[in-house]
Amino acid sequence: MEPILFSFRVKFYPPDPLRLKEDIARYQIYQQLKRDLLHGRLYCSPGEAALLAACILH
C-alpha cells in the first residue's frame, strides 16, 4: 500500500499572515507561497521578488 499524501492549499493568501493565530498555519502558507513562486504559478514584480527572497532566506 502506498503512503497517503496530505496537501494543504489556500485559494487566497491572507492580507496579513502575522494575524493568523497558529504558527503551523503561517508555516503552511509560507510553504505554499514559496512553492507557487518556484513553479511560476504566482507572479510578482522584481522588487517584490527581492523582498520575498529576503524573507525566505531570513
pLDDT by residue (tens digit) across 5-54?
887 787 888 888 888 899 988 888 888 888 888 888 888 888 988 888 78
Residue 4 has pLDDT above 90, yes or no: yes
Q: Give helix 46-57 / helix 23-38 axis angle, nearest 10°.
A: 130
Q: Is 44 a member of any domain? A: yes
Domain membership of residue 9 (yes or no) is no
pLDDT classification of 3: cutoffs 50, 70, 90: very high
Please indicate, yes or no, if residue 46 is contained in any of the structural domains: yes
Domain that holds residue 49: 22-57
Whether 41 maps to a domain, the answer reads yes
Domain membership of residue 42 (yes or no) is: yes
Give the count of domains, the chain: 1
Report which of residues 39 and 58 the model is more confident about: 39
How many alpha carbons lie under 13 Å from residue 30 in its C-beta half-sphere?
15
Residue 27 forms part of a structural domain: yes
pLDDT of residue 39: 85
